[in-house]
Chains A and B, each alone.
Chain A
Amino acid sequence: MSGTRDLTSPSPRGRGLGGAGFAVPDFQAFLSTPLGRSLARLLLALVLLAVWQYQPSDKLRFWMSGPIQIVARLWTWLLDGSLWGNVGSTLLAMSLGYVIGTSIGIALGLLFGLMPRLHRVLSPYITALYAMPKIALAPLFVIVLGIGIESKVALVAITVFFLVLNSTLDGVRNVDRDLVRALSVMGATHSEVIRKVLIPATLPWIFTGMRIAVRYAFTNTLLAELIASNSGIGFMIEYYSGVFDATGTYAAILVLVIMSVGLTELLTQIEARMSRGSAG
């Protein structure tokens, strides 16, 4: 067995022996170079796309469409402006809900942290609401707020709110009481203790909650749009699949994939910058 492994490993010796009749080691060595990897990926994608595009069954064509049609549809959307309207609608609902949920979450988290008795009275309700999947409220929001942007914003806001509320509360609870005492002995007023100790000590916890909440905000905007709405990427997916238009559905999903990758990339950048900031 060990002899076989020797031959397939991309070692210089393996490469040297490649000329003597072993094609396998050469291919593996090529795959481990950046260029080889990229070419292999491209090749794989082309093969899959070709199979998708040139599969012979008309029945499958109806359900699966084809890459060329999908890109063509995307191009039409780009030209007639309907894409930007819907991407904008999704992003607007997501950001509004995020900002509202985050602000109320931070404010109430700090308030409950400073008034532990009030928090103790309310905590069973908060825990119950936090544990409940917020998506169950979506139909209710649609009845009350309609299928416009309001119900999407409401669903995102309430999801984000609970996440940020809980991380803020955890933060306030974890403040070192000795720091608070030290400042009080120095003569700090109640509000100075809040400004100089409680808030700075809680900030990292708040940021963690806000970071996690971004992904939840995106997912919940999509969910709200899929359930009932009149604009947004989720609405496009729901609409085109409703009229059995596979091309439109896949084109909308493609837009969604691009948005997700963009968002993830953005978050990674922010996280990297923040961890650099706290290290220095």
Chain B
Amino acid sequence: MPKVELSAVSKAFVTRDREVQALQPTDLAVEPQEFVALVGPSGCGKSTILNLIAGLLQPTGGTVRYNGAAVQGVNRAVGYMTQKDTLLPWRTAADNIRIALELKCRAGPRAEVEHRVAQMIDLVGLNGFEKHFPTELSGGMRKRVALARTLIYEPETLLMDEPFGALDAQLKLLMLDQLQTLTRQRRMTVLFVTHDLGEAITLADRVVVFSARPGRIRTIRTVELPRPRDVFRIRFTEAFAHLHESLWDELKDEVTRGTDV
């Protein structure tokens, strides 16, 4: 049984009496522990799909199923790292990371909670910034706090919307490496939205290419690179270059169409 299953799911938004089709009827099944990357031009409905799976939006048509059951209301089985980091501005970095473990559904002994927070801070490389407030952190640091906050409670499914967009190239590779290790180790299912094709190929089992608005799936490509992957070197292999080129051929028409160049 697929972990996440979209059958004929479509979504239309009504703005100023005009209906905008964000997502055309789409079918997509994500298997347990699969890492799926969604790429495509902006406004192609990638984020809409994550919102539908998280239950923050209801589909206009079709059904979204999670573990075989239709998603109704907020889907608490997923961890969702949105494009905008939704950190609480009155909490320090450490307090933001801890918040999921403060909730009743995950309450644990204090010492263990603190231990896990320290572990996450270490993992995302924020040592020394535990007591800083979000306004005192750079964009990249805020992203890492948001990542740590999502990973700390080890949701079985991770939805990520351009999580590393604001990071510099070196740091991004480090984070990709950590993400790969962690999601494999904890057997997470991941849906990862990105505009960076290299990032998608490096991490994903399958890459889904979307067409420009109205969004629909243009092609799905399986990435046959062995795991674990060396995120620092894989980009220089021939298989990677080959895949990158053929996917870019698919993507570039859509990108030019989507941005009205």
Contacts and interface: CB of A to CB of B under 8 A. Distances in A.
Interface string B34-59: 00000000000000000000111000
A186 interface: yes
Contacts of A203: 90
B131 to A, nearest CB: 11
Interface residues of A, number: 18
B110 interface: no
Given A187-B76, A197-B88, A182 B103 contact: no
A20 interface: no
Contacts of A185: 54-56, 74-76, 78-80
B226 to A, nearest CB: 33
A176 B100 CA distance: 18
A176 B103 contact: no
Nearest to B102: A196
Contacts of B79: 185-186
Interface string B98-118: 011011111000000000000
A85 interface: no
B17 to A, nearest CB: 23
A207 to B, nearest CB: 13
Given A185-B56, A187-B103, A196-B99, A179 B86 contact: yes
B56 A181 contact: yes
Nearest to A186: B100
Contacts of A200: 88, 90
B84 interface: yes
Interface string A133-149: 00000000000000000
A189 interface: yes
B82 interface: yes
Nearest to A184: B74
A192 interface: yes
Contacts of B80: 182, 185
Given A196-B99, A200-B88, A182 B104 contact: no
Interface in B58-85: 74-76, 78-80, 82, 84
Interface in A165-224: 176, 178-179, 181-189, 192, 196-197, 200-201, 203
Contacts of B75: 185
B129 interface: no
Contacts, number: 49
A89 B79 CA distance: 58
A183 B76 CA distance: 10
Nearest to B55: A185
Nearest to A192: B103
Nearest to A180: B86
Contacts of A182: 80, 82, 86
Contact of A179 (B54, B88, B103): B88
Contacts of B102: 196
A196 B96 CA distance: 11
Interface string B148-192: 000001000000000000000000000000000000000000000
Interface string A75-97: 00000000000000000000000
B99 A186 contact: yes
Contacts of B82: 178, 182
Contacts of A188: 103
A184 to B, nearest CB: 5
10 contacts: A178-B84, A181-B86, A182-B82, A184-B74, A185-B74, A185-B75, A186-B79, A186-B153, A187-B103, A192-B103
Given A186-B79, A186-B153, A187-B103, 9 more contacts: A178-B82, A179-B88, A181-B74, A181-B86, A182-B80, A185-B56, A185-B78, A189-B105, A196-B88
Interface of A: 176, 178-179, 181-189, 192, 196-197, 200-201, 203
Interface of B: 54-56, 74-76, 78-80, 82, 84, 86, 88, 90, 99-100, 102-106, 153
The 4 lowest CB-CB distance pairs between A and B, nearest first, are A182-B86, A187-B76, A187-B105, A184-B74
